[in-house]
Amino acid sequence: MSDETTNPLRDQIKEAIDENDVILFMKGTPDQPMCGFSARTVAILQSVGKPFAAVNILPDPRIRQELSAVSNWPTIPQLFVDGEFVGGCDIVTEMYESGELQTALGLENTTGAAAPEPQSPEQAPLTIENRL
Task: Give the pLDDT score at 2.
Answer: 47
Task: Give the pLDDT score at 120.
Answer: 57
Q: What tens-digit pLDDT sequence spans the chain (132 residues)?
A: 444 568 899 999 999 999 999 999 999 999 999 999 999 999 999 999 999 999 999 999 999 999 999 999 999 999 999 999 999 999 999 999 999 999 999 987 666 566 666 665 555 455 555 554
Q: Which domains does the chain have, with CATH numbers?
A: 8-104 (3.40.30.10)
Write b or e for each residue in 58-93: b if 16 or more Cβ atoms lie within 10 A of its Cβ, otherwise e.
beeeebbebbbeebebeebbbbbbeeebbbbbebbb
Task: Give the pLDDT score at 88.
Answer: 96
d(CA 113, CA 34): 25
Q: What pTM did the predictor assign? A: 0.81
Task: Give the pLDDT score at 108.
Answer: 76
